Structure 1
């Protein structure tokens, strides 16, 4: 049993989707922070502006809700405005394996909490995703450097397939504190701690519309399956809402995970204080 003072508690909130996701985050993130008292709060914001990308106004709104770091994913560049501010947005990270040296922004950051330092790393998978550099090779170099400074390393691995996420977590088991997947918008029921101390969750899920299909208006998505005709996907900005997250407890000294707990808030899983 690790003493309470030797634990770092991390709250990670999954893909914020459009205005609905922003509203849910604004309502529930302060409540979750009051309930769990995390030292660090991380939010994935790659769908936060109209479902694709992020702009500066929304980035600042997510920070004002209580986020310490905002991670991204394959929609990083979908909102052109991001190139105007990402260079100065020190709490915004995009996948580190985006064309090394060719794009703006940073792929990881560190946060100092008292005498401890947590590194937060963002990576994107390659299977069924837009082209990127090898996340395994890029991560290996970055993690090797980071471990010279800290054993506390959190990874948001933004990928499509469960196998790629699991392979990444197992490959880096014992070298990072946690690997939590994003992108598929559906929270998985496989939260676990691997043998060498890395917490793993295939996908943390989405924060936004509860009655859409992965956050989009369901009638448009269904139509695509029925007739294969092009259709415009739009965020479902009405109806019921959902927040998906997970809470991690990490041993400050060894950087090993001691606990990972999933969090769902929606009509079928009401918020309980």
Structure 2
């Protein structure tokens, strides 16, 4: 199975990059599944129903979230009727929506998408290890799911690595999100799980994490709150991770960073191009 994961979409530049490039990439790379983190898609804060539908129309099979899941209040309502929108599975019982979904792909195979949020330096949710364990016990790789992708939305690299190694061999890919800066550690772990500490963002990199620089710099200097930061206005770069799995095991056999756009050094999966 050929899977493309795209990191946090930040505002209009990130959405435009996805809408303009993803349809062509899906055809060129003969992708079986596309998962996108969309928690910053609406002006840098949260996601709306209209934007979620736009991402699905562009080629996303599932859209994951994170600590900004509910910044747009309408997400609390429409997530219940959109099974392809997935919030962290370790929200306490009673939270709207779902933390995992077994997605039926176009060729009939099934991809389990799990979203989990870390607890170090972030809002303290339920135990992420136990939450992912629960989802995997319901849809084991190779028995119910043909492939399993876990979006680890966390601040601390150590926590992302701990989760990935703990579930190595039981998931096809464990992809870090949240920090908006692509890391250079993409690899396949000993048990066969593709991993990267952070997939990076889809957005304007001539910015600070996708937001315009001036207000954020002022805050660092003056230590006084101000206006809400606005999304960067430059051209968006597409960032993520390409993963190919073994059909017999569901585990990863190839993994490559994806970076397409201005500023960052270009990277594509040579085994697909």
TM-score tier, shorter chain, comes to over 0.9
1:244-263 equivalences under 5 Å are: 244-263=239-258
Q: Secondary structure at the match of 2:81?
A: coil
**TM norm structure 1:** 0.93
The equivalent residue for 1:136 is: 129
Range with greater deviation from structure 2 (91-100 or 230-239): 230-239
**Alignment partners' CA distance in 2, 1:234 and 1:219:** 9
Are the counterparts in 1 of residues 13 and 234 from structure 2 also a CA contact under 8 Å? no
The equivalent residue for 2:11 is: 18
Are the counterparts in 1 of residues 43 and 231 from structure 2 also a CA contact under 8 Å? no
**Alignment partners' CA distance in 1, 2:96 and 2:23:** 31
Query: Which of 54, 70, 76 is equivalent to 2:47?
Result: 54
**Alignment partners' CA distance in 2, 1:96 and 1:225:** 33
Tell me how far 1:271 sits from its aligned partner. Answer: 8.4
Query: Which of 91, 103, 113 is equivalent to 1:111?
Result: 103
Tell me how far 1:141 sits from its aligned partner. Answer: 1.7
- Kindly tell me the number of residue pairs found equivalent between the two proteins: 265
Q: Secondary structure at the match of 2:180?
A: coil
Query: Which of 236, 240, 247 is equivalent to 2:231?
Result: 236
The equivalent residue for 1:199 is: 194
5+ unaligned residues in a row in structure 2: which ranges?
none
Cα pair distance change 1:53/1:127, threshold 3 Å: same
**Alignment partners' CA distance in 2, 1:251 and 1:271:** 23
Range with greater deviation from structure 2 (72-81 or 234-243): 234-243
**Alignment partners' CA distance in 1, 2:86 and 2:200:** 19
Cα pair distance change 1:107/1:174, threshold 3 Å: same
**Alignment partners' CA distance in 1, 2:14 and 2:174:** 23
1:89-104 equivalences under 5 Å are: 89-100=82-93, 102-104=94-96
Tell me how far 1:103 sits from its aligned partner. Answer: 0.9
The equivalent residue for 2:179 is: 184
The equivalent residue for 2:65 is: 72
Tell me how far 1:35 sits from its aligned partner. Answer: 2.2
Tell me how far 1:36 sits from its aligned partner. Answer: 1.2
Tell me how far 1:270 sits from its aligned partner. Answer: 5.6
User: Does 1:88 find its partner at 2:88?
Assistant: no
The equivalent residue for 2:38 is: 45
Tell me how far 1:252 sits from its aligned partner. Answer: 1.7
Cα pair distance change 1:129/1:271, threshold 3 Å: closer
